[in-house]
Amino acid sequence: MHLCSAGPSALRQLLLLALLSIAVSAAPDKCSVCNRLTEAFEQGLQRTAKDNFGGGNTHWEESRLGSWASSETRLVDIQERLCSDEGKEEAVACHALLEQFEEPLEGWWFGDFRRDPGKSAAKAAAALRELLCVRTGGLCCQHGAFGPQCAACPVCGLRGHCDGNGTRAGSGRCTCDSGYRGELCDQCETGRYLATAEPLLCLACHPACGSAGCVDGPSESNCRDCATGYQPAEASGAADGRVSCIDVDECAATPGPCAGPNETCVNSPGSFACDCLPGFQRPAAGGDCQPAETAAGTDGDSAETGGDSAETGDDSAESSGESAETGGESAETGGESAETGGESAETATPAMDKEEL
C-alpha cells in the first residue's frame, strides 16, 4: 500500500505503530535495570558495613534494637540510594522494580540474610539477584543460560561468551575473544598459533609470517608463508608446510632504493629507511638532505619572515603616528594663523575711525 493512497485511518495506525516501536526500543531493558539494582544493593552493603545506629552506645543499642548488620534501619538506608545514580528513564524503571520487589526483598533481608549477615556483599548480592531478577521477576536468567526459556549456554571454550548470557534474550551463539574462532571459540585465529591446549592459549605468530599464519611456534622458521619485506630462506620448506622466512635487505639491491643526494639506505626487519648522511639533515618540510646549517636556516626562514612582517607592521604604525603628529602641527599652525588674522582685524578698526573724524 502506498502512503499517498492510504486513508486518514490507515495513516493514524501506521503512526501509532511507529511511535509504539520507538517507545519499546527506548524503554530500559528490565533485566539490565534489575542487575544494576542488585549491584547498587551490593555497594550499599559495603558502604554501611561499619556503620551503627548512631547513638554512641553500640552495645546498648544492639541489646535493645538487635544487630545493626541485619537491622531495618540499615535496610532502609540502603534502599533509599538504590536508584539515585540512574538516569531519568532508568530511575523510573528502577523505582518501579523496587516497589514490585518490596515484599520479597524484606522477606529475604529478615530471613536468609539475617541468618548469615556475615557473608560477603558479593555473595549476598548474587543471592538477591537470583531471588528478584530470576525467580520472582522472571526478568533474567541465571548466569550460563539465555533466552526466554533460559536454555543452557555453550561453554565457548573459556575464550568467548554466550550471546544473551544471563538474560531472556540473545542467540546463545559464542562470541569469541580476539585471537580465537570456531563455534565454541576453541581454535586459534589465523596469525596465531596454539601455545597450550589446557588451558587454551593462542599467541601471535612471528612478524615475518604472512597472512597464512604459522605452525606451532613463535619463530620465523614456523611460518606458512612470508610477510611483505621477508622471503623464504634457501632450502626452506618442510612436509607440514612450514617455511623459514628471512628479512629482505632492500639496501643491497642495485640500484638501491635511496637515490637522493646525501642519503643512505638503512635496513630494518621487514622494511628500510632512507636516512641522511652524517652532517646532513632533511628539512622539516621534506625534500633532499641538506647540510645541517642550511637545513636549519631553511626551517628558520619562515619564522624570520614572520618577524619581518611584524616589524614592517610596527614601522607602518610608527609612520601613521608621525602622520597624526604632523596633522596636529598643521592644525596648530592653522590656529595661529586664525589668531593673527583676528589681531589684524582689530588693528584696522581704529584706522577707519580716524578717517571718519
322/193: higher pLDDT: 193
User: Mean of the pLDDT values across residues 54-70?
Assistant: 59
The conformation of residue 219, written as its DSSP 8-state character, comes to S
Residue 200 pLDDT grade (very low, low, confident, very high; cuts 50, 70, 90)? very high
Residue 277 pLDDT grade (very low, low, confident, very high; cuts 50, 70, 90)? very high
User: Mean of the pLDDT values across residues 190-204?
Assistant: 94
Long-range contacts of 181-189 (CB under 8 A, 24+ apart): 182/157, 183/154, 184/154, 184/155, 184/156, 184/157, 184/160, 185/156, 185/157, 185/158, 185/159, 185/160, 186/157, 186/159
138/55: higher pLDDT: 138
Provide CB contacts within 8 A for 71, sequence distance 6+: 53, 65
Residue pair 274/264 in contact by the 8 Å Cβ criterion: yes
User: Mean of the pLDDT values across residues 155-160?
Assistant: 88
User: Mean of the pLDDT values across residues 121-138?
Assistant: 95
Q: pLDDT at position 5, please?
A: 53
Model confidence pLDDT, tens digit, residues 201-252: 999 999 999 999 999 899 999 999 999 999 999 766 666 788 999 999 999 9
Cα(122)–Cα(109) distance, integer angstroms: 15
Q: pLDDT at position 69, please?
A: 87
Whether omega for the bond prior to residue 104 falls within 30 degrees of 0, making it cis, is no
Residue 158 pLDDT grade (very low, low, confident, very high; cuts 50, 70, 90)? confident
